[in-house]
Chain A
Amino acid sequence: MEVLLNTGRTVDQGVSMERGKTSQEYFEKVAVAFLHPEDAKELGVGEGQAVRLTTEFGSVVLRCSLGNTERGSVFVPMGPWANALTSALTEGTGMPSLKGLRAKIEAVPGGKPTTLEELLRSWRGRSGSA
């Protein structure tokens, strides 16, 4: 299903970030895709099940959560999972494109959200110099 991807702050993201970005709580609150219940139904996913979001710039698996968005759009709290999908093009402003990106969403039956370790590995992938 084609959707528009929106990213931003949430209370849970802020609170869990202060507990620590490597905490389980942060993972649970931020590796999440908020979907409209009708869209979720169409995809055949329920609360807590895995969905894969893919843009031109990357792809991650997230936990689906129902309710907090419009039909045809997906909201992902700001953080490393959202940014695996966003564009680094700034059009001369310095500001990357973090909202309103075209994305594809699909169900991943029995799948698990991408872990922080997996993200770190993908960033280090090219060099391993750190």
Chain B
Amino acid sequence: MVLRRGVVCPFCGCLCDDLEVEVEDGRIVSTKNACPVSRSKFLSHAEDRARPMVGGREVSVEEAIEEAARILREADFPLIYGLSSTESDAQRMAVRLAELTGASLDNTSSTCHGPTVLAAQECGAVKCTLGEVKNRADLIVFWGCNPAEAHIRHPIRYSITPAGMYRQGKKERFVVHVDVRETRTSKMVNQFVKVQMGRDYELLSALRAAVRGYEVKEAAGVPGEVIKGLAERMKGCRFGIIFFGMGLTMSRGKNLNIDAALRLVRDLNEHTKFLIMPMRGHFNVSGANEVLTWLTGYPFALNFSRGYPVYNPGEFSAVDLLSREECDAALILASDPAAHFPAAAVRHLASIPTVVIDPKVSLTSKLARVVIPSAIAGIECEGTAYRMDGVPLRLKRIVDSPYLPDREILERIIERVGG
């Protein structure tokens, strides 16, 4: 039995780096410190694995790679999408392949925190690391997110109960949850504020007004007194932070909601230190934004058909390209759009030759022409991933695997496409 310590969890953007994993005869037998989702990922890693396929027939990996290269070579307007559940060298290779094939290149942030990126490009964002939050924050606001279910260890490692340098446990922090419904997160906080669905922008604007000293009345179902109280609390804290999620990015207003939140935080910095951080979902979706930005200048939704990168969310974002039926082939890397895209987009994906590179059987792999199985980053191969606060961490290889890492599969496709 081998005990691996300091293992980084490759599931969500918290990238918890204190896991312990026990390996016996090349198999993972137990985990310590992992949340239920993480445990499920480690203990089920060998289950439900994808097989190399072309047109529904099992083939060799080489044959699948050959067919993938042919599809991309022959396509006029291919889409390369996903990237967020793999490590950063594979992301780098995906950029190279996109450039070579004149493809559109998008990552899953277009359907999670794309609106956050758009808003931050408009007005900037006041940021910090999770370590600073743990050590210093005395006011934490969770807005439109549900860490108790989606980032399960966030509250104990960074935001609610950890023993920080200057803040100890829950009693030295005040925690607020703003959401459309009470969830498990609401039960962990000091104050729950219920906002009406689709009206976050209104509440954020009212808060901004209150912070500036204007008289405010009820907004988005929240009484004026509550808004005033929250504004005062925000102004009066020593170090405050808003963590926000899909409740803001996916609901009515999208990037405008985030814009309002970023500006609220900017206003608050006239009174105290206040910061804001998106709760990133996939473990390396931050990395996808970082890698694309350092290689092309743009974080997502770009296109190489002119030979240089052109950025245009709404045009080169995957849901748009698919639902407008524009792309004529797709390569999906480490993501499952068939499970998470609106049906109109999925139908087009099912109608074009699609290549899926994924460790597991996914719904997209069931629709794909070519399936290439890969090693799971952070369990079966090493690599780098970026935490939700932009801190890069090294993923470990815990067990050996017969599968190729994503980066090697992409390299082989690149060779055959003619790179």
Residue ranges of A at the interface with B (Cβ–Cβ < 8 Å): 4, 6, 8-11, 14-16, 18-23, 57-58, 68-70, 73, 75, 78-80, 83-84, 86-100, 116, 120, 122-127, 129-130
Find out whether the CB atom of A124 lies under 8 angstroms from the CB atom of B320. no
Chain B CB within 10 A, most for which of A70, A90, A120:
A90
Find out whether the CB atom of B342 lies under 8 angstroms from the CB atom of A94. no
Find out whether the CB atom of A93 lies under 8 angstroms from the CB atom of B250. no
Which chain B residue shows the least CB distance to A60?
B343
- Given A14-B150, A93-B313, also A80-B347 (CB < 8 A): no
Q: In the complex, what distance in Å separates the CA atom of A88 from the CA atom of B180?
A: 23
Q: In the complex, what distance in Å separates the CA atom of A79 from the CA atom of B55?
A: 25
Q: In the complex, what distance in Å separates the CA atom of A92 from the CA atom of B324?
A: 13
CB neighbours of B41 from chain A (8 A) = 18
Q: Chain B: interface residue count, which band?
A: 35 or more
CB neighbours of B251 from chain A (8 A) = 99-100
B118 vs chain A, min Cβ distance (A): 6
Q: In the complex, what distance in Å separates the CA atom of A86 from the CA atom of B338?
A: 13
Residue ranges of B at the interface with A (Cβ–Cβ < 8 Å): 11, 36-37, 40-41, 44, 47-48, 55-56, 106, 110-111, 114-115, 118, 146, 149-150, 152, 180-181, 183, 194, 197-198, 246-247, 249-252, 254-255, 281, 300-301, 313-314, 317-320, 322-323, 336, 338-347, 349-354, 360-363, 366-369
Find out whether the CB atom of B181 lies under 8 angstroms from the CB atom of A73. yes
B361 vs chain A, min Cβ distance (A): 6
Partner of B366, one of A15, A87, A120: A120
CB neighbours of B114 from chain A (8 A) = 93-95
Find out whether the CB atom of A90 lies under 8 angstroms from the CB atom of B317. yes
Partner of B37, one of A11, A94, A95, A120: A11
Chain A CB within 10 A, most for which of B37, B281, B345:
B37
CB neighbours of B301 from chain A (8 A) = 94
CB neighbours of B314 from chain A (8 A) = 90-94
20 contacts between A and B (CB under 8 A): A6-B181, A14-B149, A21-B336, A21-B361, A22-B366, A83-B340, A87-B342, A88-B345, A93-B114, A93-B115, A93-B254, A96-B319, A96-B342, A98-B246, A98-B250, A99-B247, A100-B197, A100-B198, A100-B251, A130-B369
Chain B CB within 10 A, most for which of A80, A95, A129:
A95
- Given A99-B247, A123-B346, also A94-B181 (CB < 8 A): no
The A/B interface has a contact count, at CB < 8 Å, of 189
Find out whether the CB atom of B181 lies under 8 angstroms from the CB atom of A96. no
Q: In the complex, what distance in Å separates the CA atom of A19 from the CA atom of B44?
A: 6
Q: In the complex, what distance in Å separates the CA atom of A78 from the CA atom of B318?
A: 18
B354 vs chain A, min Cβ distance (A): 7
Find out whether the CB atom of A90 lies under 8 angstroms from the CB atom of B320. yes
Given contacts A68-B181, A116-B363, 9 further A-B contacts (CB under 8 A): A6-B180, A14-B11, A16-B40, A18-B41, A19-B44, A23-B48, A83-B339, A83-B341, A88-B320
Q: In the complex, what distance in Å separates the CA atom of A22 from the CA atom of B367?
A: 13
Partner of A8, one of B40, B246, B353: B246
Find out whether the CB atom of A21 lies under 8 angstroms from the CB atom of B362. yes
Partner of B36, one of A6, A11, A84: A11
A91 vs chain B, min Cβ distance (A): 7
CB neighbours of B111 from chain A (8 A) = 94-96, 98
Q: In the complex, what distance in Å separates the CA atom of A93 from the CA atom of B367?
A: 26
Find out whether the CB atom of A94 lies under 8 angstroms from the CB atom of B352. no
Partner of B342, one of A21, A83, A125: A83
Q: In the complex, what distance in Å separates the CA atom of A5 from the CA atom of B115?
A: 20
Find out whether the CB atom of A97 lies under 8 angstroms from the CB atom of B146. no
Chain A CB within 10 A, most for which of B183, B249, B339, B340:
B339
Q: In the complex, what distance in Å separates the CA atom of A23 from the CA atom of B47?
A: 11
- Given A4-B197, A93-B254, also A20-B317 (CB < 8 A): no
CB neighbours of A18 from chain B (8 A) = 11, 37, 40-41, 44
- Given A19-B47, A58-B343, A88-B345, also A80-B254 (CB < 8 A): no
Which chain B residue shows the least CB distance to A73?
B197
